[in-house]
Structure 1
Amino acid sequence: MSKATENLYIDFQRNRERLQEQLAQIVRRYGKPVFPEDNSNALLGSYVRAFFLPGEPRKFFISNTSLKPEYLDLTVRPAQNPSQVQLPNGVTLGIRGHLFPTDHVAPQLVVDRIVEVVAMPPRPFEATIDVNCNLSGDHTEKNILAPELIAKLPEIALQTRENLHHWRDYLDWKREIIERELGGIRYLDASLENEQLKFHVIAKNEQEFREMESLFREDSLSVFPLRYSQNEWEFRYARDNRFFSGVMLGDFRDAQPVNAAAFKKLLRGCTWESPFVALVRFDLPADDREQLPAM
């Protein structure tokens, strides 16, 4: 493990506009502020202050995610989310980038993109570093990105035969990212009325339902058979059921709370203390109606 007296030199400015837009897309997808400063024009600054504050010792996990042998690509993710950042459980925001100058013994990490990754303990293909983040132009003093560190990182995407166990770890990691990003809510029944699809949905409590409401406005929202989830009441992605077809939903219209007692029979087996039921309505494209009976 490296000492906290070493520096990780990072350049966020070279691709500033691209990084700003990536953060804006992430915040829009979550449907609520991620950083304390709710300013869409200053998201990159908020991100840097939260995760890479200069002069403050931080722990990160670093990996070699290069796809081409001639182009070194590194991924750095924080070991822990800052308390002021509002991200879904199990998700953090890391950076991917390249070294510049490429042939320098003490380069900077130029950030090419900000990536959503799973917040979890370090994987076998990652190294743990304790560093001070430095955004200055002078990147020669106690630089953690020395050739010795880079040489120790497994080339996950290049050495698939020599490092098959690392490759499997990497694939498991990527798959977990995808599965944790999938969100869903249980519905009790569905009906079509006046070219609108109505659902009675259930959440563990009202607070959880309010947190899930942002999903209803997603452009890629679909409804799937109940057997698509591993758990009867909470959404758990069922990998073996990926072949089930879903119905794309149209625009979200509204959501109205209803009395859960009216669904006593349908709630049989539900162990939640105070389940919250609501009626939600979506527009449905006419050419999707024939798929409903299969659900």
Structure 2
Amino acid sequence: MSGDETGAGGAAQGGAEAAPWGGKRPWWSAESGGTGPLPSLGGTGGHPMVGGSGAFPRVGTGGQRVVGTGGHPAVGTGGHPVVGTGGHPVVRDGTGPLPPLPAAPAPARRRRVPRLLLVGGAAAVAAVALMAGALAFRTGGGDAQDTPTAALPASTKVITAGAAAGGLHRDALTAPKASAAYPFIAGAVEAGGVPAAKQGTAVYTAEPVRKLNVLFMGGTGAVGDPAAFLRKARPTTFIQGQDTAPGGKGAKAFCGTFAVLAETHTYCAWATRDSYGIVAANRATVHPQFPLMTDVMRRIRKDVERPK
């Protein structure tokens, strides 16, 4: 191939490569006759260019505004939003802790009543109570204790411990209060609630015939229920006992044992609704002497108790 052909062919090839679409200009050509290419992203046209360095898109140099430096906030890196440099204030380090509530007022302290005032009040109350008691006594309240006793019917019997009783004679050498059984029988009479008669105490003995020495205490008054009275009127060191025959109608009788130190003594007693008598051994025995003391009690009762 000649140089001309080569040159022509090369020109033809170059023309073909230079204008592969023929003689017409493509619609996207920037030259005259084309509409021009669309503006590239990042160009200077009216469309935004993405690629800003912030968290929000940067708007190009066209008519769109740039977000980030204006009046809208940019989100900070802390736990709370940081307001930008626009028309909103900047809050440093978030909202911070809530303000402390004002402390509740302390409860008012109760005023203590002066001790002198308390003592004075107690004295006044005591004085009023004393005056009321005195007034009640003057108006007849003091005699209220004696009214029940005065209202009770008088006893129909008399108890008198003579020189001899039940085949025994009074012991002239031993006073009743000096006998071994006296403290315990006196306690029983006190527990029963009816005191002994004025001449209702004596020590009787059978010596020198036999070794029998007893204390007698008896009286009259409002005994009430005989059985209940005998349950109350027991020696202070009572051990055990049993019912026995009283030796007369309208009466109850009881025998028992009581301790005097380490020794055992036997006693028997009777009671009616308005009289009673207790016979107790001044000498100790190993075993209770209920039959013997029952017989002595019944015989003494016949001699010391009589109708009024």
- Which TM bucket (shorter chain)? under 0.3
**Normalised by the size of structure 1, how large is the TM-score?**
0.21
TM-score with structure 2 setting the length:
0.20
Which has more strand, going by share of residues?
1
- Ranked by relative contact order (alpha carbons within 8 Å, sequence separation 6 or more), the top structure is 1
Q: Which has the larger radius of gyration?
A: 2
